[in-house]
Chains A and B, each alone.
Chain A
Amino acid sequence: MGNSKLYKGSLNTIILKLLDEEGKMYGYEITQKVKELSKGELNITEGALYPALHKLEAEGLLDVEVAKVDNRLRKYYKLTKQGEKETVNRLAELEDFIRSMQQLVNPDWSIQ
């Protein structure tokens, strides 16, 4: 995506949504999944991803789990109960925001 500032504010919601769907994911997997779903349009760098993950963990929305994978240990992130509730709220907020933006930018094709 040309202007990364446009999605920066939604990064936490994107992470929560992915974890809600996938159950548990590790850092690199999140970056790849976003790339895949957005057909390469969104590229979350590790410099943006990990601060976001740590912030969500600090807020009590994410829990971590360490598992042995191949020759190393892997840290998985998953939603806490509070995280599950917060995901619903944040998705609703994001949808409202997108709807408002659509109405502002192009009133003829706003989301129903």
Chain B
Amino acid sequence: MAISKEEVIYIDNYLKFLGVKYMDIRLEILDHLASEFENIQEPTSLGDFLRTKRSFVKRYENQWQKAKHWAHQRALIKRIIGYFYKPNQLFIPICIGIFFGFNATLLPKSLIAISFCISLIVPQCIHFYIYYKPEGIYKNIQSAKYILSIMALPSIFMYLMGIMAPIIKESPTVFYAYWFFAMVFNIAGLQEVMTLKRQIVKTYSKLISN
């Protein structure tokens, strides 16, 4: 027997009570619990049934987050590798090379330092804006957190800046290599963010409209 609308709302409220605040996670747990409850043969109250599922609900959120985090980091690495062999993406490392050439030949050292800092900071700012903008739908969607996690890897270049500074100053080769990879990671990160943003909007517009 199909579960009623009131029972669906009851399960949803119970999940909120247990602290499952993201709607995409609630959707999956709710569907599983509703399907299982519909198939119980003996008469059981919904409240009693849900109490037996508490530990499953608690565990669920953590393991989901972990799996997704590494999936997106892997996708980021895959995208970066693609820049060096996919014909339609080769223009990215080439453009970075031209940009470096412009910096090295035309700009004074002080402006190169500014150019370097801006190229590292701006992509990070864009992705933070995407997630935290006030009218964004992402606050209620767990998957949107991955938008942040994707950029964790490119952020490493910013964290390393202090440690790398003496070596970077000594050797222009190390400096440009460091800058090159920082830019490649940042561009790939932003591309991943945009792709995921589109997917999230598409999938969860359905959820929000219900």
Chain A residues at the B interface, C-beta cutoff of 8 Å: 26-29, 32, 46-47, 50-51, 54-55, 57-60, 64, 66, 68, 70-75
Taking CB atoms, residues of chain A closer than 8 Å to B4 are 71
How many contacts A-B (CB < 8 Å)? 67
Chain B: residues with Cβ within 8 Å of the partner, total of 28
Identify which of A32, A50, A59 contacts B71 (C-beta below 8 A): A59
Q: A47-B56, A47-B59, A51-B67 known; A68 and B210 CB under 8 Å?
A: yes
A74 touches B31 (CB 8 A): yes
Looking at chain B's contact residues, the main secondary structure is: helix
A72 touches B34 (CB 8 A): yes
State in angstroms the CA–CA spacing of A64 and B3 once bound together.
Answer: 23
Q: A47-B59, A66-B27 known; A73 and B35 CB under 8 Å?
A: no
Q: Can you list 10 contacts pairing A with B, beta carbon distance less than 8 Å? A: A28-B32, A28-B36, A32-B39, A58-B68, A66-B27, A66-B206, A71-B5, A71-B8, A72-B34, A75-B28
Chain B residues at the A interface, C-beta cutoff of 8 Å: 2-5, 8, 27-28, 30-32, 34-36, 39, 56, 59-60, 63-64, 67-68, 70-71, 74, 203, 206-207, 210
